[in-house]
Structure 1
Amino acid sequence: MQDELKEMRENIKEVMEYAVPDGFFDKAEDLLDVYRDDRIGLNVLLEFYRTLPGAKEALIKDIVLFARQHGVFLLGAMTGLREGYLYLVSSEGIEFQGTVGDGFLARELLDFFQYESEEEFKRICAEHKRFVSYDPLQIDEDICPACHACTGEEHELGCPVEICPWCGGQLVYCSCRFEQLGLDAISTEQDLLQLEALLEERGRIPYSPEQRPNYADEGPGVIIE
């Protein structure tokens, strides 16, 4: 994981050479350093500087958090007080969603992030005082460092931080999942669906800050052999 993050940082520095206005490279590097070990933040920086959605040189002054839900983040790459670009980011990737100034979000995303209406989201985008900087996952204890579930949310299946509801150990490392399935290995999609059903029946343990390890990477997850 660390090698991948290092490669991302190097790629970001490379594209920043062409994207950042003269005289602002040091400031761009300062923000890069804030998110140096944070995949979500690095994804925003790389996507912005690689594509320059405003079609001109620009500097990200801050990355702000609009919403987060089930490991999915709605972030704004802010280039000015009310100027910025919206990105939908998760461990699966990143998607550009338009400008903060337009204040537009597709209906399914408004529902997903529990905004009451298009007008509410447009109002939030217009009120810069509502913007809260996105904290790197390493220092935000309310987010699982592996699957990005928030406190009280269920982990993604295969998250190395999830607690086994049968033995209290780490679900991806204990043998309970095999014992409950009566299998020696999880080898099919059907096995995964059956495991998920058994977990739901037993009662999955949602994320809480107490589960947070001293250091967590993405872990091995549930591997289909």
Structure 2
Amino acid sequence: MEGITLSTEAATLSPIALFLQADIVVKGVMVGLLLASIWTWTMIVGFSIKLRRAMRDSDEFERDFWKAQDIDKFYEGAGRADQPAAKVFAAGVQEWRRSTARGAIDRDGTRQRLATVLASATAGEVDRLADRLNSLATIGSVAPFVGLFGTVWGIMRSFTSIAAAQNSSLAVVAPGIAEALFATAIGLFAAIPAVIAYNRFSHGVNRLEGKLNRFSDGFHATLSRELELDR
């Protein structure tokens, strides 16, 4: 009989049973946190692939660029690729062509415009890459408090059960407390990966931004040397 009782209690405290026994408010909290967890892992997988591809493509583009002998020919061949370094390069080439199309070239003005365009293109590519990354920070900061709300609600329900039954035994309070703790666990399950992923991805985006800044500085220096030549 004791073995049967323990098996029944274990089944009662299973995640599915805790969800089915929960109050409608706690159920809503659990469903919301589970959806947030699914969204978190979807973003983690998707952004990992996106960031890894951006870093790889930028490395390959820079390697090919520094080997190129003619910037115009390189632009026609590889300068229109849909990846961050190529977009920065294309913005610089387009500004260079506009600034040097006139007969008399304002060297200082051209340098300033190139620096502005390259910095703007770099910032735009970083913003585009990091789009929706703040969702991870939001989930990481909000999910524990949502789980805490479910915890508080479950404990309140337990006290209500005690008052209604006029009995403070463990059998009366255990279901509500178990539901409350389960809501907290789901909140942490959603928040912890989100915080870790946000910090990791932020570091990766910062690395890519630094790489693009170094590339734009080198490209700007190359074009600046071209301005020193007699045209």
Higher helix share: 2
* TM-score range for the pair, normalised by the shorter chain length: under 0.3
Greater RCO between the two (CA within 8 Å, min separation 6)? 2
Q: What is the TM-score with the length of structure 1 in the denominator? A: 0.23
Q: Which structure's CA Rg is the greater one?
A: 2
Higher strand fraction (1 or 2) = 1
